[in-house]
């Protein structure tokens, strides 16, 4: 099943995707940027406007569908992936998107998330990760760091957090990427690639909550620090970073390690070349864990993109095959199937 592509030139613009509803996120919220980038990218995807659907759960991020002039479904907490799954199965030509947050997807909706990944349902999931519960006013979330002091953890959270990209890779998602709300160009690129991926696409977006978790990602987004704390994954290119692009990542066994390219010990050839199309998710999984190591830069970009049959293709194929074999279903024959006998009255 391919998404319905309009071969005629599309004349859609970002404005076509703005709904008539007032946007009600807090001033300065990272969600505004995500909304703007989605509205910029959507006209370029070659998909009819009426074929886009946004499904969301509960949380600040889940307001998203109201602000997009597409079909939308603001559902209940955690269930957006399941609702999107049913819609996509019923109507495979639609482009189905999920807007969700770290509480919605990583906590209450965790089960739906891993199974949608595992089954390679052809839906696109954007996780707005601000590492806090915003709508319920400031409790720690499943992605908050251990020790975090919040309303529900006054002495510091004792939970270990999830790393969403690791979880997605561990669940065999076929497209896993990360972006940052403030890095708009890169975010657009990632949304575009997620939108064009055939299969489940998972994009984690670090999103700043100005009210309850302000500056959570400051180190990763501010000019002064960002070059040293982040690394951008690019397919086929060596993993080099740093203000002077003088540092690289090597693998020692299964452990990624930062090395200097200045002291003559290592050259570019020693540095890992990122291969996002590796069939095995193992290397991508190792890279995703760099996020949790304070001595390593946090990766952004596409960790993994592989193509394999989607759930939706497999189902449609099965329907076609069975129908070819048995003929199109005939209700009269179904009713009269099995052992029947006549009663002459």
Partner 1 sequence: MENENAIPVQSLETVTVMFAGDSGDGMQLTGSQFSNTTASLGNDLNTLPDYPAEIRAPIGTIYGVSGFQLKFSSTDIHTPGDSPDVLVAMNPAALKKYLPSIKKNATIIANIDSFDAKNFKLAGLESNPLEDGSLNGYRVYEVPITSLTQEALKDCKLSAKEIVRSKNFFALGIMYWMFSRPMEPTLKWLEQKFKNKPEIIKANSIALKAGYYFGDTTEIFTARYEVLPARLPKGTYRSISGNEATAIGFVAASVQSGHQLYLGSYPITPASDILHYLTKYKNFGVKTFQAEDEIAGIASAIGAAFGGSLAITTTSGPGLALKTEAAGLAVMTELPIVIVNVQRGGPSTGLPTKTEQADLLQAMYGRNGESPVAVLAASTPSDCFYMALEASRIAMKFMMPVILLTDGYIANGTEPWRIPHESELPKFNHELETNPEGFQPYSRDENLSRPWAIPGTPGLEHRVGGLEKSNITGNVSYDPDNHDLMCKIRQDKINKIALDIPDVVIDGEDEGELLVVGWGGTSGTLTEAVARARRDGFKVSRIHLKYINPFPKNLGDVLSKFDKILVPEINLGQLSKILRSTYIVNTIQFNKMRGLPFKINDVKEKIEEILGGSNDK
Residues of the shown chain interacting with partner 1 in the complex, contacts defined by CB under 8 A:
19, 21, 48-53, 55, 58, 65-66, 69-76, 79, 82-91, 93-94, 111-112, 114-115, 315, 318-319, 322-323, 325-329, 331-332, 334-345
Residue at token pair 């960790």: 303
What token pair was written down for 83? Answer: 């609702």
Question: Considering beta carbons, is residue 260 or 321 the nearer one to partner 1?
Answer: 321
By the 10 Å C-beta count (0-12 exposed, 13-18 middle, 19+ buried), 108 is classed as: middle
Take residue 130 and report the two structure tokens written for it.
């601000």
CB of 110 to partner 1, least distance (A): 10
- Smallest distance from the beta carbon of 267 to partner 1, in angstroms? 48
HEC states along 217-278? CHHHHCHHHHHHHEEEECCCCECEECCCCCEEEEEECCEEEEEECCCCCCCHHHCCECCCCC
For partner 1, which is the closer residue by CB, 111 or 277?
111
User: What is the smallest separation between the CB atom of 213 and partner 1, expressed in angstroms?
Assistant: 25
Residue 18 vs 189, nearer CB to partner 1: 18
Q: How far is the CB of 23 from partner 1 (least distance, A)?
A: 13
- Cβ 73 to partner 1 shortest distance, Å: 6
Closer Cβ to partner 1, 17 or 140, answer by number: 17
Least distance CB 164 / partner 1 (angstroms): 18
Q: Are 88 and 314 in contact (CB under 8 A)?
A: no
Q: What sign does the dihedral 114-115-116-121 (CA atoms) show?
A: positive
Q: With respect to partner 1, which residue has the nearer C-beta, 29 or 53?
A: 53
CB nearer partner 1, residue 86 or residue 156:
86
Least gap, CB of 123 to partner 1 (angstroms): 10
Cα separation of the two ends of the chain: 52
- Residue 181 to residue 187: CA distance in whole angstroms: 7
How distant, in Å, are the alpha carbons of 3, 19, 52, 78, 154 from that of 149? 45, 37, 39, 24, 5
Question: Which residue, 144 or 312, is less far from partner 1 as judged by CB?
Answer: 312
Q: Looking at beta carbons only, is 155 or 341 nearer to partner 1? A: 341
* Alpha-carbon gap, residue 228 to 27, rounded angstroms: 29
Separation between Cα atoms, residue 103 and residue 91, nearest integer Å: 28
Helix/strand/coil for 133:
strand
Nearer to partner 1 (CB atom), residue 55 or residue 258: 55
Q: How near is the Cβ of 42 to partner 1 at its closest, in Å?
A: 12
Helix (H, G, I), strand (E, B) or coil at 305: strand
Task: Read off the DSSP letter of residue 105.
Answer: I
With contact defined as beta carbons under 8 Å apart, do 45 and 78 qualify?
no
Tokens of 87: 């819609």
Please report how close the Cβ of residue 216 comes to partner 1 at its closest, in angstroms. Answer: 28
| Closest to 96 in 3D by CA, of 46, 41, 56 | 56
């Amino acid at each position: 099943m391919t998404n319905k592509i309009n071969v005629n030139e599309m004349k859609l613009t970002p404005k076509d995707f703005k709904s008539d509803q007032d946007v009600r996120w807090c001033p300065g919220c990272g969600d505004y940027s995500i909304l703007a980038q989605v509205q910029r990218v959507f006209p370029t995807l070659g998909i009819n406007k009426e074929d886009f659907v946004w499904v969301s759960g509960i949380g600040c991020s889940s307001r998203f569908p109201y602000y997009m002039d597409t079909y939308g479904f603001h559902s209940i907490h955690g269930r957006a992936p399941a609702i999107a799954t049913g819609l996509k199965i019923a109507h495979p030509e639609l482009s189905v998107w999920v807007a969700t947050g770290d509480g919605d997807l990583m906590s209450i909706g965790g089960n739906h998330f891993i199974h949608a990944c595992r089954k390679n349902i052809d839906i696109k999931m954007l996780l707005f990760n601000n590492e806090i519960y915003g709508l319920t006013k400031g409790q720690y979330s499943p992605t908050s760091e251990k020790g975090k002091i919040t309303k529900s953890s006054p002495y510091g959270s004792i939970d270990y957090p999830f790393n969403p990209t690791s979880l997605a890779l561990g669940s065999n998602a076929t497209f896993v990427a990360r972006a940052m709300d403030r890095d708009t160009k890169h975010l657009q690129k990632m949304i575009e690639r997620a939108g064009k991926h055939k299969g489940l696409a998972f994009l984690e977006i670090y999103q700043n909550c100005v009210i309850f978790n302000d500056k959570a990602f400051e180190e990763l987004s501010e000019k002064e620090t960002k070059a040293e704390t982040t690394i951008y994954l690019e397919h086929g290119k060596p993993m080099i970073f740093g203000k002077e692009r003088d540092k690289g990542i090597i693998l020692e066994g299964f452990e990624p390690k930062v090395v200097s390219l200045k002291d003559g010990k290592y050259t570019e050839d020693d540095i890992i070349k990122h291969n996002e199309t590796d069939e095995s998710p193992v290397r991508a999984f190792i890279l995703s864990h760099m996020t949790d190591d304070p001595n390593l830069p946090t990766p952004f970009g596409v960790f993994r993109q592989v193509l394999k049959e989607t759930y939706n293709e497999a189902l449609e194929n099965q329907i076609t095959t069975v129908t070819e074999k048995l003929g199109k279903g005939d209700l009269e024959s179904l009713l009269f199937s099995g052992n029947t006998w006549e009663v002459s009255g």
